[in-house]
Amino acid sequence: MRLKLWALLMLFSAPVFSGRATFAQYNPLPNPIAEMEVAGPAQAAVRAQPNDYIAFSQNPLLGGVPSGKRSATPISLSLEDAVARALKQNLGGLLANDSMTDARGQKWQALSELLPNLVTNTVLGVRQIDSRAQFGLKTPGIPRIIGPFGYFDSRGSLRENALDWESIERERSSTEQLKSAVYGYKNARELVVTVIVSNYLLVIADQSEVESALSERDTAKALSQQASDQKTAGLAAAVDVLRSQVELQAREQQLIVAQNNLEKRKLILARTIGLPLGQEFGITTQVGYQPLSVPPVEDAIESAYKTRPDFQSQLNQVRSAELEKRASSAERLPSLELAADYGITGVNPASTHGTVDATASLRVPIFQGGRVHGDVLRADASLARSKQLLEDLRVQIDQEVRDAYLDLQSAAQEVSVENNAVTLATKTLQQSRDRFSSGVTDNIEVIQAQDALATANDAYIASLYSYNLAKISLARAMGVAEARFSDYLKGE
């Protein structure tokens, strides 16, 4: 049975970070691998194109910043601990937080255009001038070279845009951008939780594969010994012993592969949660089959529109684009600037007198060469793009919730079927061993029964992983992954 790790990949096609940049300018989460399939959790066989690994390794949600010191003894890591670490050290979350800080800085920059600007300037110097070069005339009674003489000037200057609708609208737009960035950060946390839980579930599945492979190896070893004893007693042929030894070697090889894949999966998890380099750990949370009761799908979709932070972030992007368009149109309006300065001046600090200057400047745009028209056109395009992205996201959320419902229902049925298959395969193997012990049949039947049991075990582990993955995918689709991932896995 082949499992698509779409819970990791479906998340990477939508922007996580929000800031001043538009969607066309900044889309930090590329879709790294269109099809990444795993043939059983323990037999990880990633089929990728030549350049897919580069994109995969550069995806921020799959990276992390290590923290802490490495411990010589392996640490115990629960699912809750892994999520808590990732929310602090996962690269995707950290970059989203940086984007939020950047948006906050841009808001202050826009606000500064509306607030008074007060500066002081003090100058103390010596000057000498050439009057003929300075004035272009030879003035009787005035020497050509004047100075050197000292001068001193100290004053404070105040400037304020008393009325500037363009700056007002841009400040409002930056406020919406900041709100969008805050929701973008929340969305990044949702994605981080989903990725970490998915990886943790894969570690659980791989560990189950190791345990299953170990059990199958032990069973094969017992069958090999049984065949050898049967041959010694004259109840079995030499070929039965050879077949049992071949089966034992195959199970040994599968165990080695399963153990190797488990260790590699743990390395991926360690990186995404920011464990110290080389830190060994063991997982402590086991997630079994727990039925999950869900509301009607239409109710879930309506709830998702209210709770999904990426949807709220895009709503703020639309509002910001609307305000940017108003700001572009406001470039045609007059603006009023007030300025004043007061200071003291003289030949030295001990000999000064006060000076003052105050102005009110009215700027009236008449012709700007089509620049405003160009700004409005670009703002229109940005607004249309934001609305289109919003509507596409609305459809995407609807699809994700419905997909999660279908996967949840299908995976629950698969778990039931595969569990029954394991029970039947276990009984078949036991009966085949009894028949071989009684000399009724050779061990071909036993080996076939063991292979059937191994296949059933792999299928059950895969179906259980799919079911729990469908749960966390539903939590993500409804925008409650961070708050309720543990409840969903417990079936609450």
- On whether the CB atoms of residues 52 and 33 are closer than 8 A, the answer is yes
Burial class (CB in 10 A: 0-12, 13-18, 19+), 20: buried
Q: How far apart are CA 105 and CA 116, in angstroms?
A: 18
Q: Which residue has the higher pLDDT, 57 or 170?
A: 170
Q: Which domains does the chain have, with CATH numbers?
A: 3-116+165-336+370-490 (1.20.1600.10)
Between helix 238-273 and helix 165-232 the angle, nearest 10°, is 160
Convert the pLDDT of each residue in 305-322 to its tens digit.
Answer: 999 999 999 999 999 999
Q: Which of 310, 304, 309 lies closest to 475, judged by CA?
A: 304
Partner residues linked to 283 by β-bridges: 77
DSSP state of 5: -
* Three state DSSP letters for 250-295: HHHHHHHHHHHHHHHHHHHHHHHHCCCCCCCEEECCCCCCCCCCCC
Identify the band that residue 12 occupies on the pLDDT scale cut at 50, 70 and 90: very low
For the cut 80, the answer to whether the pLDDT of residue 360 exceeds it is yes
Q: How far apart are CA 61 and CA 146, in angstroms?
A: 70
- On whether the CB atoms of residues 461 and 212 are closer than 8 A, the answer is yes
Determine the average pLDDT of the residues in 463-484.
93
Identify the band that residue 238 occupies on the pLDDT scale cut at 50, 70 and 90: confident
Burial class (CB in 10 A: 0-12, 13-18, 19+), 328: buried
Q: Which of 60, 8, 7 lies closest to 29, judged by CA?
A: 60
Residues whose CB is less than 8 angstroms from the CB of residue 89 and which lie 6 or more positions away in sequence, other chains included? 64, 65, 66, 67, 273, 274
Between helix 481-490 and helix 79-89 the angle, nearest 10°, is 170
For the cut 50, the answer to whether the pLDDT of residue 16 exceeds it is no
DSSP state of 301: H
Query: What's the angle, vertex CA 19, arms to CA 18 and CA 21, rounded to 5?
Result: 105
Determine the average pLDDT of the residues in 28-49.
32
- On whether the CB atoms of residues 253 and 216 are closer than 8 A, the answer is no
Convert the pLDDT of each residue in 439-449 to its tens digit.
Answer: 777 778 888 88
Single pTM value for the model = 0.80
- On whether the CB atoms of residues 447 and 275 are closer than 8 A, the answer is no
Give the number of C-alpha atoms closer than 13 A to the C-alpha of residue 127, restricted to the C-beta side.
12
Identify the band that residue 129 occupies on the pLDDT scale cut at 50, 70 and 90: confident
Convert the pLDDT of each residue in 161-201 to its tens digit.
Answer: 888 898 899 999 999 999 999 999 999 999 999 999 999 99
Overall residue count recorded for the chain in this entry: 492
For the cut 60, the answer to whether the pLDDT of residue 52 exceeds it is no
Q: Which residue has the higher pLDDT, 38 or 71?
A: 71
